Amino acid sequence: MQTTNQNELIIEVIQIKKAALIFRAVNHPLRRQILQLLHQNVRMTVTEVFIKLRLEQSVASQHLAILRKAGFVLTERQGKFIFYSVNYQRLKQIHQVAEEIIHVAKEKASDTELSTES
């Protein structure tokens, strides 16, 4: 968010929407299950993922694509196979951002409670 002067408020809607999509990518139960499976197996192909989770191939591919676009999985091509693995740095980053947002919100809530009690 930027302000050019005190009378103008600029909300960067596109940036906020992009960030929301990244949070939503990891918030989906099936995608969390895929991440857990990848973590347990280090790396897997889409075929291994859909067989293990008993999904349609297209469903597994769609969810892996969402995770890849959000940066939560890494890909490595070996011949005709693409292996997926967890991007731990990205998960750490999203946890840090979430913690910061929650921390600031808690501080603001505490400040508001203190000022109303005075």
Domains and CATH numbers, the chain: 2-117 (1.10.10.10)
Cβ-based neighbours of 74, under 8 Å, separated by 6 or more = 84, 85, 86, 87
Tokens encoding 52: 């293990």
Q: Could you read off the pLDDT of 67-92 as tens digits, one per residue?
A: 999 999 999 999 999 999 999 999 99
Q: What is the pTM of this model?
A: 0.81
E-state strands within the chain: 2-5, 8-10, 73-78, 81-86
Asked if 10 and 1 touch (Cβ cutoff 8 Å), the reply is: yes
Q: Could you read off the pLDDT of 3-37 as tens digits, one per residue?
A: 556 788 999 999 999 999 999 999 999 999 999 99
